[in-house]
């Protein structure tokens, strides 16, 4: 563990330990991957102001996201098939987040179900909803999230149609993986992963199988999923979802200020400035470049979060400077999970915390919540 100092170190280890199909699923973006790359690269264009001889003792990274106290404003983003990076991945990541004091968001497309995660956590987690055409299934999901005492619903808006990731098509991605010769060889050289998978019953989409009409097994699941994303979804749908849910609502996938202003009018509690980690509209702006304009446009009318490309604590602070009250990490925690299971997720959070803390001090600040535009050199 001592040689692991950065998120990139966790990524290298995950590449060795996770079957190629699932590692590639995490490390990929739509089409040319230009937005995926820009998400990371654009953080590098932003520079801090270095300040000296200010008292930097008693620092704190604590903050709140939608009124919930967080040890640092970094939630785990909803990611599909997390239980394929490591056996029981969602359950382990949720436990790591709970122990660290940051929110965990469970995806609709998870391997472990809402009930699985609730059974191993004590504090409420957040649930991410995809609105699918089968409305009975969607209503059921909302009710299951309520029953599991989830404290926020994260409604994803940027996936009414699936962007294409070439790697997934070429790899024949599926959960569980098909037993082709190439897949069997690829898994056989990763015994830790295989052992974990052999020891868990959780190997397919457990929020869906057995809950959606006509989806009783993996064979029926594939065709069901592809036809389920709802191209008719509109702003009107946010109202009935909000009403049915009745709790805190976060709208995820906003990249344009006009949409942000519409989102603020819905009465939701927060928006996430996001391009789905560069997995949907290739050629869209990086999230960090879209953030400032959106935060300025909505002002105090709605809380602003962001995700996409965060690979260090410095990136988190840059997002805070440009108007985000909270951030999310996707791949950084997935790499941690693939590399070292629960311990790896904790390690990813620890790396980010340390980088945030030292950067905060060298910028001459004590509180992460004090970071603003004037801490950036422009
Ligand atoms: C492997 C993977 C699966 C994802 N699945 C979902 C999902 O099921 N629902 C969702 O709203 N976002 C999903 N996302 C997007 C993330 O929630 C988040 O927006 C993105 O990962 C942030 O970028 P980052 O990975 O660079 O931190 C996924 C991202 C990845 C990498």
Give domain limits for the chain.
Answer: 7-377
| CA 86 remoteness from chain centre | 16
| pLDDT number for residue 57 | 93
Q: Is 128 annotated as a binding residue?
A: yes
pLDDT in tens, 246-258: 999 999 999 999 9
Which tokens hold the place of 35? 């937005």
| pLDDT number for residue 284 | 98
| pLDDT number for residue 174 | 86
| pLDDT number for residue 295 | 98
Instruction: Determine the atom of ligand 1 nearest the C-alpha atom of 275.
Output: 19
Cα(326)–Cα(66) distance, integer angstroms: 9
CB 149 within 8 A of CB 127: no
| pLDDT number for residue 340 | 98
What stretches in the chain show pLDDT beneath 70? 1-2, 218-219
Cα(283)–Cα(41) distance, integer angstroms: 14
| pLDDT number for residue 1 | 58
Instruction: Determine the atom of ligand 1 nearest the C-alpha atom of 40.
Output: 26
Cα(38)–Cα(139) distance, integer angstroms: 36
| pLDDT number for residue 230 | 86
Q: Is 33 left (phi over 0), alpha (psi -120 to 50) or beta?
A: left
Which tokens hold the place of 366? 């004590």
| Strand order, beta sheet including 74-76 | 74-76, 326-329, 303-307, 270-273, 249-254, 152-156, 126-129, 105-106
Which tokens hold the place of 167? 């790697």
Atom 4 of ligand 1: nearest residue by CA position: 79
Q: Is 308 annotated as a binding residue?
A: yes
- Listed residue (301, 312, 319, 309) closest to 369, CA to CA: 319
Residues within 6 Å of ligand 1 by CB: 25-26, 39, 77-80, 107, 109, 128, 156, 252, 274, 276-277, 279, 307-310, 329-331
Q: Domain 7-377: give its CATH code.
A: 3.20.20.70
Which tokens hold the place of 272? 């996430």
Q: Which of 35, 39, 80 to mutate to test the pocket of ligand 1 (most atoms within 8 A of CB)?
A: 80
Residue 276 is a catalytic residue: yes
- What is the reported pTM? 0.97
Cα(336)–Cα(256) distance, integer angstroms: 31
Q: Is 214 annotated as a binding residue?
A: no
Q: Is 310 annotated as a binding residue?
A: yes
Question: What are phi and psi for residue 228, nearest 5 degrees?
Answer: -90, -20
Which sign does the torsion angle of CA 115, 117, 119, 121 carry? negative
């Amino acid at each position: 563990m001592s040689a692991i100092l950065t998120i990139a170190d966790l990524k290298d280890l995950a590449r060795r330990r996770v079957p190629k199909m699932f590692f590639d699923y995490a490390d990929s973006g739509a089409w040319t991957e230009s937005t995926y790359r820009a998400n990371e690269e654009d953080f590098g264009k932003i520079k801090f102001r270095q300040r000296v001889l200010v008292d930097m003792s008693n620092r704190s990274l604590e903050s709140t996201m939608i009124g919930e106290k967080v040890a640092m404003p970094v939630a785990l983003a909803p990611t599909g098939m997390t239980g394929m990076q490591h056996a029981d991945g969602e359950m382990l990541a949720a436990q790591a987040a709970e122990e660290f004091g940051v929110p965990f968001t469970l995806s609709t497309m998870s391997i472990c179900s809402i009930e699985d995660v609730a059974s191993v956590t004590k504090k409420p987690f957040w649930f991410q909803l995809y609105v699918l055409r089968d409305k009975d299934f969607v209503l059921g999901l909302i009710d299951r999230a309520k029953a599991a005492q989830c404290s926020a619903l994260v409604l994803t808006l940027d996936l009414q149609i699936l962007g294409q990731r070439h790697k997934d098509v070429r790899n024949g991605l599926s959960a569980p993986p098909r037993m082709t010769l190439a897949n069997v060889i690829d898994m056989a050289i990763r015994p830790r992963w295989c052992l974990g998978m052999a020891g868990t019953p959780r190997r397919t989409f457990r929020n869906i199988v057995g809950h959606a009409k006509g989806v009783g097994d993996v064979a029926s699941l594939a065709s069901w999923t592809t036809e389920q994303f709802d191209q008719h979804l509109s702003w009107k749908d946010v109202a009935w979802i909000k009403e049915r849910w009745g709790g805190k609502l976060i709208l995820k996938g906003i990249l344009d200020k006009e949409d942000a202003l519409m989102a603020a009018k819905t009465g939701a509690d927060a928006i996430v400035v996001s391009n789905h980690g560069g997995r949907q509209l290739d050629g869209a702006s990086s999230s960090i470049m879209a953030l400032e304009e959106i935060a300025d446009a909505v002002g105090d009318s709605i809380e602003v979060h962001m995700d996409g490309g965060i690979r260090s604590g410095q990136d988190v602070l840059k997002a805070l400077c440009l108007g985000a009250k909270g951030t999310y990490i996707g791949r950084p925690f997935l790499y941690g999970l693939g590399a070292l299971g629960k311990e790896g997720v904790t390690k990813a959070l620890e790396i980010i915390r340390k980088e945030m803390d030292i950067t905060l001090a060298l910028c001459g600040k004590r509180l992460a919540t004090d970071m603003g535009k004037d801490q950036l050199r422009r």
